[in-house]
Amino acid sequence: MAARIRDYLGSNAVQSALGQPAQAPPFAAADEIPLIEAALSRRTVLTTAGIAGALAAATVIADVTGAFGRGGGGDSPFGEPFPGTHHNDNTQSGNDPNSGIKTLTSEAPLPAQFSATLPIPKQLQPTRQTSDTDYYDIVQSAATAEILPGLKTPIWGYNGTFPGPTIVQNPGRNVVVTHRNNLPVPTVVHLHGGAIPHDSDGYPTDFVLPAASYGDFPAMPAMGDMPAMTDPQAVVTRQTRDYTYPTPPRAATLWYHDHRMDFTGASVHRGLAGFHLAHDAEEQELPLPQGSRDVPLMIVDRAFAADGSFRYPALDPAMRSTPGVDRDAGNGVMGDVILVNGAPWPAMKVDAARYRFRILNASNARTYQLALDDSTGFTQIGTDQGLLAAPQQLDAIALSPAQRFDVVIDFSRHRVGDRITLTNQLGSDSTGVVMRFEVARTATDTSSVPATLSTVDPIDPSSSVATRTMTFHRAGTDWEINGRVFDPTYSEADVRAGSTEVWTVTSDFHHPFHVHNATMQVVSRDGQDPGPYDRGWKDTVFLNKGEKVRIAIRFSDYKGRYVFHCHNLEHEDMGMMANFTIN
Ligand code: C2O
Ligand code: CU
């Protein structure tokens, strides 16, 4: 095995994965986790040498897990507004959930803010319908988008668009989406937040292979002439696959995105993400804003190369064999341009009326704290997994990658001509601004936000049938859960269908914790009550650096193999994912 590793060290790919000699990254805050010199990343070993070799290799290389000891930190729960983040120097705050993550800068000329019009993703129409099921077709294809004026950005999109088309799942309806992969690499579609039979959940090795002309793709990447890892349980199809989505238990703002093992960050960054809005009768009876006043907002950050292409520091830009990103992007990839529904800092003309905004953070790594510059704040009505029990008034909302906040903003308190800017209190300069609303006209408005929205029964943690601890931490260039990088053949937890467990999740960095096929409630943060951003049913819970969060997780009744992982996509791709099995 040692000889093999030396061989790999001779390969360019591994050299670049290992990076340059120890040097503190210029962007790291003083208290930041350093990028230490790993001997050889276990992730690299896994993907080069195969599962059988990996265990042996892991004993050969230095075990660097313990090297990340960092005491303290995280004394301010994420549930409180971040102290010190109202000023612009966010690298000074140890509590800043973006500290230590490098922002790539754009080389292309950037447009004036608010010069673009907010696009609204098209609602996909079914290709056929039966008494209980709507059938949709999506083609995953390469396309170009004019995101910056006069420049063409190559994207990968669902139906060639970024964001992809919005799928609306009406009460009582099942949805079947036939995806066709016309891209040059394997893809996997995951419906984030859904309760879904395992064969439609988008398990990371359940590839939809590209056309045979693009060559062979093993179940997991291999390098050189070494045997590839294979996942014996993977269900691989060629070019098309039907994904079946039963009626969700509650109305919720879900989203779908690529989930290919090792390459999710690169794939989503190219544009493979869209909304999936599930409605139910309870929600439809409420007098909330609807129709053109119910608007999904997908927020991402990107940096652009001079030719208009997205800058993403992939080790293998063809996304065929070597996973991962440049060393100094190992904490995550952020950009200096904020896109909403694919447009840079757009403006939206609004009526002087109430609007519902379904805000999704689809960024790879960036966490936002959103506020309105008229200081009137938001009425939050929902979160990841649907409506709150009652609305809550918030001056700002913090959302980590993958989280959703449903809010109502009442523009009737403004005069025609007023402009209200949506800002990001965790950003600075170009990333401190998100979009603008321009009150264009008066209008009648019969909507309201009722005092009771839904029923959210608090999970009683004593109903938990098991407790577990999940430690999210860094080891060298890998990101690990309980000391392991993702291994499709290993189950970290075997759980009972429909049961509730309490997991204590600890983190050495900022990690958005996401569980498939389950819904969660935050029980406590560092021993304190959950914060205002923790309310309701979640599928993604943010952990700031050093936090310990207890989470009650209710698993769905669908059985089989699922994953939980960090939703910082660079962390996920570098190993921070694990299986659990529902029996
Ligand atoms: Cu949004 Cu497993 O992911
Ligand atoms: Cu993470």
pLDDT band at 221 (very low <50, low <70, confident <90, very high): low
Instruction: Kindly give the distance from the C-alpha atom of residue 2 to the centroid of ligand 2, in angstroms, as a whole number.
Output: 30
What's the pLDDT at 218?
67
CA distance to 67, 182, 206, 397, 433, per residue, from 37 (Å) = 10, 39, 34, 37, 36
- Highest average pLDDT, of 28-37, 51-60, 226-235, 471-480, comes from 471-480
Instruction: Kindly give the distance from the C-alpha atom of residue 510 to the centroid of ligand 2, in angstroms, as a whole number.
Output: 6
- Which atom of ligand 1 is nearest to 257's Cα? 1
**Pair 158, 180: CB distance under 8 Å:** no
Instruction: Kindly give the distance from the C-alpha atom of residue 262 to the centroid of ligand 2, in angstroms, as a whole number.
Output: 14
- Which atom of ligand 1 is nearest to 516's Cα? 2
pLDDT tens by residue, 16-67: 222 332 223 323 333 344 443 333 344 444 443 333 333 222 222 222 222 2
Residue 468 pLDDT > 50, yes or no?
yes
**CB neighbours of residue 278 within 10 Å:** 26
pLDDT over 90 percentage in the chain:
79
What's the pLDDT at 315?
95
Q: Among 208, 209, 282, which residue's Cα sits nearest to residue 450?
A: 282
Q: Which ligand lies nearest the alpha carbon of 256? A: 1
What are the start-end ranges of the H helices in 262-332? 264-270, 281-284
- Name the residue with the closest Cα to ligand 1, atom 3: 192
Q: Which residue has the tokens 């050189």?
A: 224
Instruction: Kindly give the distance from the C-alpha atom of residue 185 to the centroid of ligand 2, in angstroms, as a whole number.
Output: 25
Instruction: Kindly give the distance from the C-alpha atom of residue 131 to the centroid of ligand 1, in angstroms, as a whole number.
Output: 30
Q: Where on the phi/psi map is residue 150: left (φ > 0), alpha (ψ -120 to 50), or beta? A: left
pLDDT tens by residue, 259-298: 999 999 999 999 999 999 999 999 999 999 999 999 999 9
ω into 126 cis (within 30 of 0): no
CA quadruple 474, 477, 481, 483: dihedral positive or negative? negative
What's the pLDDT at 230?
74
Average pLDDT, the chain: 85
- Which atom of ligand 1 is nearest to 204's Cα? 2
What's the pLDDT at 32?
42
Q: Which ligand lies nearest the alpha carbon of 569? A: 2
Please give all residues whose CB falls under 5 A of ion ligand 2, grouped by chain where several chains appear: 511, 566, 568, 571
Q: Which ligand lies nearest the alpha carbon of 562? A: 1
Residue 552 pLDDT > 90, yes or no?
yes
Across residues 518-534, what is the average pLDDT? Answer: 96
Ligand 1 site residues (CB inside 6 A) read 190, 192, 257, 259, 402, 514, 516, 563, 565, 567
Q: Among 533, 478, 500, which residue's Cα sits nearest to residue 57?
A: 478
Instruction: Kindly give the distance from the C-alpha atom of residue 259 to the centroid of ligand 1, in angstroms, as a whole number.
Output: 7
Q: Which ligand lies nearest the alpha carbon of 570? A: 2
Beta pairing class for 378-383 and 404-410: antiparallel
What's the pLDDT at 62?
25
Instruction: Kindly give the distance from the C-alpha atom of residue 102 to the centroid of ligand 2, in angstroms, as a whole number.
Output: 14
**Pair 503, 554: CB distance under 8 Å:** no
What's the pLDDT at 319?
95
Instruction: Kindly give the distance from the C-alpha atom of residue 582 to the centroid of ligand 1, in angstroms, as a whole number.
Output: 17
**Pair 99, 439: CB distance under 8 Å:** no
- Which atom of ligand 1 is nearest to 572's Cα? 2
Instruction: Kindly give the distance from the C-alpha atom of residue 446 to the centroid of ligand 1, in angstroms, as a whole number.
Output: 37
What's the pLDDT at 94?
55
Please give the DSSP secondary-structure letter assigned to residue 552. Answer: E
Q: Which residue has the tokens 């950050």?
A: 301
- Name the residue with the closest Cα to ligand 1, atom 1: 192
**Pair 161, 167: CB distance under 8 Å:** no
- Which atom of ligand 1 is nearest to 255's Cα? 1
- Which atom of ligand 1 is nearest to 402's Cα? 1
Indicate the helix (H) or strand (E) that contains 174. Answer: strand 174-181
pLDDT tens by residue, 362-417: 999 999 999 999 988 999 999 999 999 999 999 999 999 999 999 999 999 999 99
Q: How far apart are CA 266 and CA 312, in angstroms?
A: 7
Q: Which ligand lies nearest the alpha carbon of 512? A: 2
Q: Which ligand lies nearest the alpha carbon of 480? A: 2
What's the pLDDT at 51?
34
**Pair 185, 217: CB distance under 8 Å:** yes
Instruction: Kindly give the distance from the C-alpha atom of residue 188 to the centroid of ligand 1, in angstroms, as a whole number.
Output: 11
Residue 8 pLDDT > 60, yes or no?
no
Q: Where on the phi/psi map is residue 30: left (φ > 0), alpha (ψ -120 to 50), or beta? A: alpha
- Which atom of ligand 1 is nearest to 192's Cα? 1
Q: What are the phi and psi torsion angles at 269 (to 5°)?
A: -60, -35
What's the pLDDT at 155?
98
Q: Which residue has the tokens 């997780």?
A: 553
pLDDT band at 226 (very low <50, low <70, confident <90, very high): very low
Q: How far apart are CA 547 and CA 511, in angstroms?
A: 10
